[in-house]
Every structure is written in structure tokens, then in C-alpha cells.
Structure 1
């Protein structure tokens, strides 16, 4: 087997006291910290390290300094890119088919998505967060007529409906299915809720994003006989190992996190509102 040795720069191109790790730090740290600055842009450009708030404490933890060793650099990188999700921020939403093909399968009207998830503190050990995502279409717009000005106005309406006291509003997800169709206005909602009152509140907020009134005659409720399973204890044999059975429509509070819009012809989602601090490019 032939061994290929990477080409090394001539010795006379490097100083006698050249330290590869120190050189890497000088190149890497400014690049990494530039991403940290962008991610925490909401805290301002001029800042001194402080841990007075959770956001500023995270920024201090992510920021690399000259005397960091390799372990510290790795930990700071892992915190920013993996735990806080910066490395995933530009990934497209996966539909099972390419996004462009998905958009071609519908009429091309802009589609707005609102994402909800359970607070980490309320997730039982060994379970995944309960999530929810609902969407509607802007039937009076097309990719050609949609503009940044209109998007900002929509973002402000979503913020008004789904942000309260600086946090996303909460609703209780459950086993019952509440369908609300108003296709002329772009709504085909299917909400898993716990009570009709709670679910009606969320549906009404979604409608108000386009200044549309709630019509109780359009609501169809499906209540399964099977009981909801929130805390699963039963197991099943999977590939030679005992694993927990899937939960059945668990009851859990989910909080609004962010909203984004897809336009046909636009490769990346347009983030409208963000209550997580992860999407610095969000319009609101």
C-alpha cells in the first residue's frame, strides 16, 4: 500500500519558534467569536463579560479567549454549535421530499409555520419533548407579491398573538383532535388538544394573525376512547432489547417558540418571530 504524505510547507516559510496550536488558535478564535457575536446580536455590539442574565452568561461561556486550551475550545464550540443549535440554523426543513418539490405540489401561496415545544424543566426523565407545529397559507399573496414590509407586518401580528410578557404563550396538547378548515383563507388546522376551550384559544390566535374571525360551526371534534398515555411504563421487545412503548397522545403544556415562512423559490425559511434567541435573523 502506498502511503501519501501531505505536502509540508518549506522550512524557510515558518519561523523557528512556530507553534502549530498557537497558530491555529490565532486563526480559529476570531472566526468562532465572530459567530458568537452574531448569535448574541440582541445583547449589543459593545459588551464586557458578565453573567447577570442567562443570555449574557451563555455568551461568556461560548466566547473563546487566548489562554483556552484545546478542551476549553472544544467545549465552547460544542455549546454554541450543538447544544444551542447554531450548527443547525441554516438547515432546511425536511418534508420527506426536496423542499422545492414539496412547494410544487401545492398552489404556491406563502406558508407560515408556528412551532411549539414543551419546556425542558417539565420533560420527564427518559422522555422526549412534546412538540407541535401548525401552519396556514397567505391566500392573498404569492412569492412575487410578498415583500419584506408585508412580512414584518405579519411578524408583528404573530408576536402580538403569541408572545406575552416576553415569553411564548402556552397551550395544553392532548389526545383529542380539533379540526378547523377555512380553505378560502388558507387554514386546514388539525390541533391535538386537551380541552375545547384551550384549543379554541390557539385556533383563534392563529386566525387573528390574518384578522379572521373564529367560526364555531367550522370546528370538528374527534375524541378517541383510548386514554392518553403521558408517562409510559410499559415496554416492548425491539431488536433484542426491552424499550419503552411509544406514548399515546401525551398531555403536556407546549410553548410557542418561533414562526417562519416559506416562499416558493426562496431556498431558506424566513424567520418571522423568535422567542428562543436562536434565530438572530428573525424579523421580530
Structure 2
């Protein structure tokens, strides 16, 4: 038994195995000034497996790393989604490359018992056909632009509200719907998205919609619904709040997983990052 543990311990401490993953994770957070990953000597020490650690201590350190530092428990314990596997979808649907920007409400401002508000913005790279692969220089440009427009200063805060700004320019791949508290706020988000793709803003493509009775149409208090002897809090439609940029993905037809263009969470390590992809 002792020899078995010594082998496992040696394997975990190998630079290409667990300890190598820990070192790489903290090094990436150190070199990325916009990363929100925790990074201190104590944090790293609580995760690295040492030569004299028992099996129980090593187990605790791995739990520290995956659940406390990386937050994988939160990633796994997410709300169920309606969807199909990427490979199955790509069998029946062809699509032009798609960029997805993901935002989420800070835990500090989220009311108790309610899920954090999320937001997504998507657009297509219309200069490429579904069977075409964007050159790496184009992908790097997208990544750099996202870092500048959305990933700097701890993540851009998108102000969401009861009003709606739409921006429709089909030939350029845009069909944006931005909930916002006012027109200027929504327009700001649209313009930042256009800068990511290197496009000029067209005033005629933007529309601003306001409900005649927004307080009645979109109340800001959560209602409960009773289902099978249990009460469930219902989501608030067009909640007035702020959601922070988390990460950006590039979906390319034929790739089984999207490419990470930017990630401030450090929790999407199962996907290929932009630097790793560019090196291949």
C-alpha cells in the first residue's frame, strides 16, 4: 500500500501532471493583469503536493485546487440547459464562425435565493463561409480586441435594464438585442462589440425600444410559483442590474470545442486557450 501511494504521489508531483497544472494555473494568473484568479503564496502552497504529504493531505490539496481555487463545483452545479452536444449539432447544421461574449452578475450584488443574472452577446464572422477556417491572425486580432474592450479593468460592466437597444446589420453578422437602462448605455455596448470586429457604427441600424409602462411590464420583485407542494422563485425579466464580462468563445464549424478568446474566471481550462491554439 505504501509503495502504491509513493507511486501516485510521485506521479501527481510530476511537472506534467497535477503539480504541473497547479504551477501553470498560478503562473497564468500572475502574467495576466486582468485575471481575477486568486494568486498568493498561501493559495499555491495549499494546492501543491509535497513529498511528505499523506494521501489524505494530498486529497485535501486537490479539493482545494479544483473546488476552492478553480471553482469547478460552481461550474458543475449550474442550471440545466436545453441543448444538444456540439458534434450532434454540427452534423445537421453548418454555420459561419461565431463569437460569444458571456457576462454574469457579481455575487456581491446578487439577492439571496436568486440566481445571478447572466448575459450573452453573439455575432458572426460573415467574411468566412461555414467550411472556411479563420486565419490565426484574425483570431488573434479578435482576442486582442476583446481584451481591450471587455477584459480590461477587471471586466467590463454591462448595465442592464428595462429598455432595449437593437442593432441589426445582417450582412455584417449582427442581430444584437441589448437590455439597458437608457439609450446611451445600450449604444455604448453596441459600439464596443463593433470595435471587437473592426466594424464602423451605423446609426440607421440601431433602434431604441421603451415600454409604455415598464414598471408594470417588468417588475423588479421576484415572484414565487408553487409547483408540487414547493415554492420556486421565478426569474426577474429585464432586471435592472450590472453584469460583468467573464469570458469570450469562438465557435468554428468542425471544431469539437470552442476556442477561448479571453477568460477572466480561470475556470474554463477544459477548453483550448487562444495561446495554445495559436501554437499548434
Shorter-chain TM-score range: 0.7 to 0.9
Residues 150-159 or 53-62, more deviating: 53-62
Displacement after TM superposition at 1:230 (Å):
4.1
Q: Which residue of 2 aligns with 1:282?
A: 273
In structure 2, C-alpha distance between the alignment counterparts of 1:20 and 1:213, rounded to whole Å: 62
Structure 2, gaps ≥5 residues long:
32-36, 276-280
Cα gap change, 1:279 to 1:58, in 2 (>3 Å): farther
Cα gap change, 1:139 to 1:73, in 2 (>3 Å): same
Q: Pairwise CA RMSD of aligned residues?
A: 3.1
Q: Which digits, 9 at most, give the CA deviation of each residue in 1:72-117, with x for residues without a partner? A: 444433343345245869xxxx761232454466653111111111
Displacement after TM superposition at 1:35 (Å):
2.2
Q: CA contact under 8 A between 1:39 and 1:278: conserved in structure 2?
A: no
Structure 1, gaps ≥5 residues long:
1-16, 46-52
**Aligned partner of 1:223 among 203, 206, 210:** 210
Q: Which residue of 2 aligns with 1:10?
A: none
Q: Which residue of 2 aligns with 1:14?
A: none
SS of residue in 1 equivalent to 2:49: coil
Q: Which residue of 1 aligns with 2:278?
A: none
Cα gap change, 1:184 to 1:32, in 2 (>3 Å): same
In structure 1, C-alpha distance between the alignment counterparts of 2:235 and 2:7, rounded to whole Å: 50
Q: Which residue of 1 aligns with 2:61?
A: 76
Report matched runs for 1:5-20 at 5 Å. 18=2
Cα gap change, 1:20 to 1:41, in 2 (>3 Å): same
Equivalenced residue count is 255
Taking structure 2 as the reference length, what is the TM-score of the superposition? 0.77
Matched, 1:148 2:136: yes
Taking structure 1 as the reference length, what is the TM-score of the superposition? 0.76
Cα gap change, 1:145 to 1:23, in 2 (>3 Å): closer
**Aligned partner of 2:239 among 241, 250, 254:** 250
In structure 2, C-alpha distance between the alignment counterparts of 1:210 and 1:264, rounded to whole Å: 19
Residues 235-244 or 68-77, more deviating: 68-77
Cα gap change, 1:123 to 1:43, in 2 (>3 Å): closer
Task: Give 1 or 2: higher helix fraction.
Answer: 2
Matched, 1:54 2:42: no
Q: Which protein shows a greater Rg?
A: 1
SS of residue in 2 equivalent to 1:214: coil
